[in-house]
Amino acid sequence: MKIDTLIIGAGLSGLTIAWKLKQIPGHSILLLEESERAGGAIMSHLEGGYLAEGGPHGFLDNCAESQSLLAETGLDKECLKAPLSKFVRYVCIDGKLKLIPQSPPKILAAPLISPLAKLRVAGDFFKKPLPGEPTVSEWVEYRFGKALLPYVDAVFTGTYAGDLERLVIDGVMPGVRQIEKDYGSIIYGLLKKMKAAKKQGSKKKKGLPAMTSFPSGMTRLAERLAENLGSDELQTGCKASNISRNPEGWSIATEKQTIECRNLVLALPVNAALSLLSPIGSQPPMEKIPEARIVTIGLGFGAGASLPPGFGYLTPESEQRFCLGALFSSNMFPGRAPKDHILLEALVGGRRHPERLELDDATLIKEAIQDLQQLLKLPNPPDYARVIRPRGGIPQLEKGYPSLLKWRNDLMKEENGLYVTGFGWEGIGLNDMIKTAFRVSEAIKQGEQDTGEEEAELKKVYF
């Protein structure tokens, strides 16, 4: 079998690349997926009127590529939005939920840290760039002081389910690291960038973005992208076991056939891609990277239960609680729970506590409820309880990851027609996946290599 482009991995990255390549007249594609369903980590579960997510709960509407994809698919007419300006989030500190404002000036004005600790934050103006490959914890303490660590811990608990003492700042926030190198001070660099943006663009102040989902959950996005593919273009339950070079491009072996293609796209999580790439090019600096797995526990409650306004809360490790945090799902989007009921989704496990994933469902539910009842008004047992276990883990961008990313970029330069993208290579958010998928598909369309080398993006942090 010969085709123009073979894509391995039908998660959001692979589905989006397939969607874009289908727009090229006469360009033949095939998308292979090892599991029995497309969508990767996206998993929505509807039961008894409760709609829970086993993967991402949504994405922010501040990415041009994501908005373009919604328009192309017609999903812009279906999507639900929860503006960050109308919903707050909390961090659990000293056993209580503390409201976190969404703007830096309001955060500094809020009584989250002591006046002396706020003065220490200003010490950033006088700090030189920290050399080497510091962890997030080392970097934050060096630039801003220890007082911010619990809040930063909560941020990376919510995004990577990670350990800020192992995640490296160059991996998780390369844009911020670049500001440090360019300006010395993060605060000064951000002020300069804001001033430059005002000069170049509109003076109209941008509001906070909104979290986006769909009435039937995030599965709708994957389903819509897969609908565009014929039975000869999407094969599930099909594992690629080996890849090799041939005179015209690439050969891919599966259990049933050998496929030849000009362009080969590995739209896979980092470790899955590394296992296939082992016979290609030079040896990578590491054979695999750590992953963090989290269990989602959906809990529905009826009369007597209530949630504070907002999206949910996160918990730093210093609190020593069972749950990493919880999403107030019925606050975020309509239709997540039956009328007069609430749905929250607790998160358990992560990089620091993989042992908790070994607990049975009944124990997970019991421990989660006991933890949540100390923080929220949940006087009665739940009407609904479901444990959703992950298919895979969240890639952890720890020591050595920057060198691994450079190795991947060098490999794509050397191997014509090879494109390596997917979960963990350039971020873990849905917007990261879609943005990179657009770039890869455009490179294929133009007959160019994707070097993976883009200017480090400065991403805003939202709790």
Q: What is the pLDDT of residues 167-193, one digit of tens each?
A: 999 999 999 999 999 999 999 999 998
Higher pLDDT, 53 or 196: 53
Please report the pLDDT score of residue 25 as a whole number: 95
Mean pLDDT of the chain: 93
**DSSP-assigned letter for residue 382:** -
Pick from 143, 148, 147, 146: nearest CA to 185: 143
Please report the pLDDT score of residue 245 as a whole number: 92
Please report the pLDDT score of residue 463 as a whole number: 52
Only one residue has tokens 């192309």, namely 72
Please report the pLDDT score of residue 449 as a whole number: 83
What backbone torsions phi and psi does residue 460 show, to the nearest 5 degrees? -75, 150
Higher pLDDT, 310 or 449: 310
> Three-state SS for 356?
helix
Query: Residue ranges of the alpha helices (H) in 1-114?
Result: 12-21, 64-73, 104-109
Q: What is the pLDDT of residues 333-372, one digit of tens each?
A: 999 999 999 999 999 999 999 999 999 999 999 999 999 9
Residue 108 has pLDDT above 80, yes or no: no
Q: What is the mean pLDDT of residues 86-107?
A: 86
96-110, 211-225, 232-246: lowest mean pLDDT where?
96-110
CATH 3.90.25.10 describes domain 58-85+294-389:
no
Q: In angstroms, how far apart are the furthest CA atoms of the chain?
A: 69
pLDDT over 70 for what percent of the chain?
96
Cα(268)–Cα(421) distance, integer angstroms: 7
Burial of 425 (0-12, 13-18, 19+ CB in 10 A): buried
Q: What is the pLDDT of residues 112-157, one digit of tens each?
A: 899 999 999 999 999 999 999 999 999 999 999 999 999 999 999 9
Please report the pLDDT score of residue 195 as a whole number: 87
Cα(145)–Cα(124) distance, integer angstroms: 9
Query: What six digits make up the tokens of 314?
Result: 């996160």
Per-residue CA distances from 23 to 185, 431, 439 (Å)? 45, 21, 14
Please report the pLDDT score of residue 199 as a whole number: 79
Q: What is the pLDDT of residues 17-73, one digit of tens each?
A: 999 999 999 999 999 999 999 999 999 999 999 999 999 999 999 999 999 999 999
Amino acid at 248: E
> Three-state SS for 140?
helix
Pick from 61, 66, 105: nearest CA to 80: 61
Residue 204 has pLDDT above 70, yes or no: no
Query: Residue ranges of the alpha helices (H) in 286-400?
Result: 329-332, 361-373
- Write the class of the CATH domain 104-198: mainly alpha
Run of H or E residues at 198: helix 186-200
What backbone torsions phi and psi does residue 153 show, to the nearest 5 degrees? -55, -45
For 2-41+219-290+396-445, the fitting CATH number among 3.50.50.60, 3.40.50.720, 3.30.70.60, 1.10.3720.10 is 3.50.50.60
- Long-range pairs of 252-259 with CB within 8 A, sequence gap ≥ 24: 252/6, 252/8, 252/32, 254/32, 257/1, 258/1, 259/1, 259/2, 259/3, 259/6, 259/30
Contact between 404 and 170 (Cβ < 8 Å): no
Task: Compute the C-alpha angle 49/67/88, nearest 5°.
Answer: 55
Please report the pLDDT score of residue 460 as a whole number: 65
Query: What six digits make up the tokens of 397?
Result: 């961008």
Q: What is the mean pLDDT of residues 394-406?
A: 94
Higher pLDDT, 104 or 246: 246
Domain boundaries, the chain: 2-41+219-290+396-445, 58-85+294-389, 104-198
Please report the pLDDT score of residue 262 as a whole number: 96
Residue 459 has pLDDT above 70, yes or no: no
Domains 58-85+294-389 and 104-198 share a fold: no
